[in-house]
Amino acid sequence: MNAYEQYMKELAQPMRSELTNQGFESLETSEQVTQYMENIGPNETAFIVINSVCGCAAGLARPAAVTVALQNDKKPTRTATVFAGQDKEATETMREYIAQVPSSPSMAIFKGKELKYFMPREHIEGRDIQEICMDIKDAFDEYCD
Protein backbone atom coordinates (compact mmCIF):
# COMPACT_ATOMS: atom_id res chain seq x y z
CA MET A 1 0.00 0.00 0.00
CA ASN A 2 1.45 3.34 -1.01
CA ALA A 3 1.41 6.47 1.19
CA TYR A 4 -1.65 7.93 -0.57
CA GLU A 5 -3.68 4.72 -0.15
CA GLN A 6 -2.69 4.55 3.53
CA TYR A 7 -3.71 8.19 4.06
CA MET A 8 -7.10 7.65 2.41
CA LYS A 9 -7.69 4.48 4.43
CA GLU A 10 -6.97 6.38 7.65
CA LEU A 11 -9.20 9.26 6.54
CA ALA A 12 -12.08 6.93 5.68
CA GLN A 13 -11.96 4.78 8.82
CA PRO A 14 -13.90 7.16 11.12
CA MET A 15 -16.54 7.56 8.39
CA ARG A 16 -16.82 3.81 7.99
CA SER A 17 -17.10 3.50 11.78
CA GLU A 18 -20.04 5.91 11.87
CA LEU A 19 -22.11 3.23 10.17
CA THR A 20 -20.57 0.11 11.68
CA ASN A 21 -21.16 1.61 15.13
CA GLN A 22 -24.85 1.75 14.12
CA GLY A 23 -24.78 -1.99 13.40
CA PHE A 24 -24.01 -1.86 9.67
CA GLU A 25 -21.93 -4.70 8.30
CA SER A 26 -18.91 -3.37 6.42
CA LEU A 27 -18.53 -5.20 3.12
CA GLU A 28 -14.97 -4.68 1.95
CA THR A 29 -14.48 -7.34 -0.72
CA SER A 30 -16.40 -8.47 -3.74
CA GLU A 31 -16.82 -11.88 -2.11
CA GLN A 32 -18.33 -10.35 1.04
CA VAL A 33 -20.85 -8.41 -1.06
CA THR A 34 -21.86 -11.49 -3.04
CA GLN A 35 -22.23 -13.60 0.10
CA TYR A 36 -24.26 -10.87 1.85
CA MET A 37 -26.58 -10.29 -1.10
CA GLU A 38 -27.10 -13.97 -1.84
CA ASN A 39 -28.05 -14.62 1.78
CA ILE A 40 -30.84 -12.05 2.05
CA GLY A 41 -33.90 -14.10 2.89
CA PRO A 42 -37.06 -13.68 0.78
CA ASN A 43 -38.86 -11.91 3.64
CA GLU A 44 -35.89 -9.84 4.77
CA THR A 45 -35.16 -6.25 3.86
CA ALA A 46 -31.63 -4.94 3.48
CA PHE A 47 -30.64 -1.29 3.61
CA ILE A 48 -27.38 -0.68 1.77
CA VAL A 49 -25.40 2.56 2.04
CA ILE A 50 -22.71 3.21 -0.54
CA ASN A 51 -20.50 5.39 1.58
CA SER A 52 -17.90 7.97 0.50
CA VAL A 53 -15.80 10.84 1.80
CA CYS A 54 -17.54 13.55 -0.22
CA GLY A 55 -19.27 16.43 1.52
CA CYS A 56 -22.83 15.23 0.91
CA ALA A 57 -21.95 11.83 2.38
CA ALA A 58 -20.40 13.36 5.47
CA GLY A 59 -23.03 15.99 6.07
CA LEU A 60 -26.27 14.52 4.82
CA ALA A 61 -26.20 10.81 4.06
CA ARG A 62 -24.06 9.68 6.94
CA PRO A 63 -24.57 9.68 9.83
CA ALA A 64 -27.49 12.10 10.15
CA ALA A 65 -30.04 10.71 7.68
CA VAL A 66 -29.18 7.09 8.39
CA THR A 67 -29.25 7.50 12.17
CA VAL A 68 -32.58 9.32 12.16
CA ALA A 69 -34.19 6.97 9.63
CA LEU A 70 -33.23 3.90 11.64
CA GLN A 71 -35.29 5.24 14.56
CA ASN A 72 -38.40 4.58 12.46
CA ASP A 73 -40.90 1.97 13.70
CA LYS A 74 -40.45 0.00 10.49
CA LYS A 75 -36.84 -0.63 9.57
CA PRO A 76 -34.79 -3.09 7.58
CA THR A 77 -33.83 -6.44 9.04
CA ARG A 78 -30.28 -6.08 7.71
CA THR A 79 -27.93 -3.17 7.07
CA ALA A 80 -24.61 -3.02 5.25
CA THR A 81 -22.24 -0.54 3.70
CA VAL A 82 -19.55 -0.48 1.05
CA PHE A 83 -17.11 2.40 0.81
CA ALA A 84 -16.64 3.88 -2.66
CA GLY A 85 -13.05 4.84 -3.33
CA GLN A 86 -11.83 2.47 -0.64
CA ASP A 87 -13.45 -0.90 -1.33
CA LYS A 88 -13.45 -0.54 -5.10
CA GLU A 89 -14.19 -4.16 -6.04
CA ALA A 90 -16.85 -4.46 -3.33
CA THR A 91 -18.48 -1.24 -4.52
CA GLU A 92 -18.50 -2.38 -8.14
CA THR A 93 -20.04 -5.72 -7.15
CA MET A 94 -22.73 -3.96 -5.09
CA ARG A 95 -23.49 -1.67 -8.01
CA GLU A 96 -24.16 -4.75 -10.14
CA TYR A 97 -26.96 -5.69 -7.74
CA ILE A 98 -28.32 -2.16 -7.73
CA ALA A 99 -28.21 -1.76 -11.52
CA GLN A 100 -28.73 2.00 -11.36
CA VAL A 101 -26.50 4.89 -12.34
CA PRO A 102 -23.43 4.49 -10.13
CA SER A 103 -23.20 7.21 -7.54
CA SER A 104 -21.82 7.71 -4.10
CA PRO A 105 -23.12 8.30 -1.67
CA SER A 106 -26.31 6.43 -2.42
CA MET A 107 -28.74 4.21 -0.56
CA ALA A 108 -30.75 1.16 -1.58
CA ILE A 109 -33.40 -1.06 -0.07
CA PHE A 110 -33.78 -4.68 -1.13
CA LYS A 111 -36.69 -6.96 -0.29
CA GLY A 112 -35.24 -10.38 -0.69
CA LYS A 113 -32.96 -10.01 -3.67
CA GLU A 114 -35.18 -7.46 -5.43
CA LEU A 115 -34.19 -3.79 -5.47
CA LYS A 116 -37.19 -1.85 -4.21
CA TYR A 117 -35.79 1.63 -3.57
CA PHE A 118 -32.74 3.61 -4.63
CA MET A 119 -31.63 7.09 -3.59
CA PRO A 120 -28.78 8.34 -5.79
CA ARG A 121 -26.39 11.12 -4.88
CA GLU A 122 -28.40 13.73 -6.78
CA HIS A 123 -31.31 13.10 -4.39
CA ILE A 124 -28.98 13.66 -1.42
CA GLU A 125 -26.72 16.58 -2.24
CA GLY A 126 -28.14 20.05 -1.86
CA ARG A 127 -31.31 18.87 -0.09
CA ASP A 128 -32.53 19.54 3.40
CA ILE A 129 -31.65 16.76 5.84
CA GLN A 130 -35.28 16.46 6.94
CA GLU A 131 -36.39 15.79 3.36
CA ILE A 132 -33.80 13.04 2.99
CA CYS A 133 -34.81 11.47 6.29
CA MET A 134 -38.48 11.53 5.33
CA ASP A 135 -37.74 9.91 1.97
CA ILE A 136 -35.83 7.08 3.69
CA LYS A 137 -38.50 6.68 6.39
CA ASP A 138 -41.23 6.57 3.72
CA ALA A 139 -39.28 3.84 1.91
CA PHE A 140 -38.88 1.90 5.19
CA ASP A 141 -42.64 2.23 5.79
CA GLU A 142 -43.38 0.90 2.33
CA TYR A 143 -40.90 -1.96 2.13
CA CYS A 144 -39.97 -2.99 5.68
CA ASP A 145 -42.09 -4.99 8.12
Q: Where are the domains of the chain?
A: 3-143
Q: How far is CA 61 from CA 12, 54, 58, 88, 97, in A?
A: 15, 10, 6, 19, 20
Fold of domain 3-143: Glutaredoxin (3.40.30)
pLDDT band at 55 (very low <50, low <70, confident <90, very high): low
The C-alpha atoms of residue 75 and residue 70 are separated, in whole angstroms, by 6
C-alpha of 12 from chain center: 15
Give me the pLDDT at residue 140, please.
97
Give 115-129 pLDDT, tens digit per residue: 999 999 888 888 888
Active site residues: 54, 56
pLDDT band at 51 (very low <50, low <70, confident <90, very high): confident
pLDDT band at 82 (very low <50, low <70, confident <90, very high): very high
Helix axes 30-38, 88-98, angle to 10 degrees: 30
Provide the mean pLDDT of the chain. Answer: 89
